[in-house]
Amino acid sequence: MDLEGFEAATVPHMNTLYDAAVRLAGDHATAQDLTQETYLRALRSFATFEAGSNCRAWLLRIQYNLFCTQYRRGRRMPLVWLDEGEPDPALELPSDEPGPEEQTVRELDREAVRRAIARLPEDFRMAVTLVDINGLTCAEAATVMDVPRGTILSRLHRARRRLEAMLLPELGRVQADDL
């Protein structure tokens, strides 16, 4: 088993996998389980992975399939994003970062965005997670979710309009250099 090759190909995508897992599972403990199980499955079938093809989409497809077949049954997404705990006071901000007040506003915005995304129906939430947050193309997201590309576009469009309605106050605070 080529453990070194497996880690080199897959570990760079762990943030994406974990982000998608949190949004699918709704809590951090389950997200960690889902991420770990995804990696174990990927390891077992790494021999079938074609070197040079899209490893991130391959991993996300395994994870999404795993979630749909084993984690989703009976699960209800929480309407409120779970508290991630207090920020680490030891974390020093570099001098060119926004000041504490602006940081607080931005953190509040992030929480508002996470809550709004958590309120979306699962299919919409996954499309936003894959394309808008993690930068997959519509074609890649379509492969992950096993639906036509047009379906991804349609889900994204409807999800964005719902988010827009939920996040109107936060939109005004987006800085020009964030665009």
Partner 1 sequence: MTCDDFQLQLTAFSLGELSSDERQQARDHVAACDDCASRMLRDRQLTALTRTSAVPAPEATRTAVLAAVRAEAAKAAPAPATPAPERLPARRVRRRHWVALAAALLAAAAVVAAALLVVPAPDPGSPLAAAWSSYHARGKDGLGTPSPKEAERLFAVLGPDSRPPDLAGYGLRQDGWEGRDLAGHVAAVAEYRDHEGGRLTLMRWRGELPAVARAPAGSGLKAYRWGRHTSYWWRADGVVWCMVGTIDQDQLYEIAEHLGGESSGAELG
Interface residue list for partner 1 (CB under 8 A):
1, 3, 6-7, 11, 14-15, 17-19, 22-23, 28, 31-32, 35-36, 39-45, 48, 58, 61-62, 64-66, 68-70, 72-74, 106, 109-110, 113-114, 117, 128, 131-134, 138, 146, 153, 156-157, 160, 163-164, 167, 170-171, 174, 178-179
Give yes or no for a contact between 57 and 144, defined as CB atoms under 8 angstroms apart: yes
Q: Which is nearer to partner 1, 95 or 150 (CB)?
A: 150
Dist. CA 172–CA 179, nearest whole Å: 12
- The nearest distance, CB 95 to partner 1, in angstroms, is 21
Angle in degrees, 0-180, between the axes of helices 138-145 and 149-166, rounded to the nearest 10? 100
- The nearest distance, CB 154 to partner 1, in angstroms, is 9
Q: Which is nearer to partner 1, 94 or 165 (CB)?
A: 165
- The nearest distance, CB 38 to partner 1, in angstroms, is 9
- The nearest distance, CB 94 to partner 1, in angstroms, is 17
- The nearest distance, CB 15 to partner 1, in angstroms, is 5
CA neighbours closer than 13 Å in the CB half-sphere of residue 145: 27
Question: Buried (b) or exposed (e) across 123-134, using 16+ Cβ within 10 A?
Answer: ebbbbbbbbeeb
- How far CA 97 is from CA of 92, 100, 178, in Å, comes to 10, 9, 13
* DSSP secondary structure letter of residue 147: S
Supply φ then ψ for residue 101, to 5 degrees.
-65, -45
Q: Which is nearer to partner 1, 77 or 160 (CB)?
A: 160
Q: Which is nearer to partner 1, 57 or 100 (CB)?
A: 57
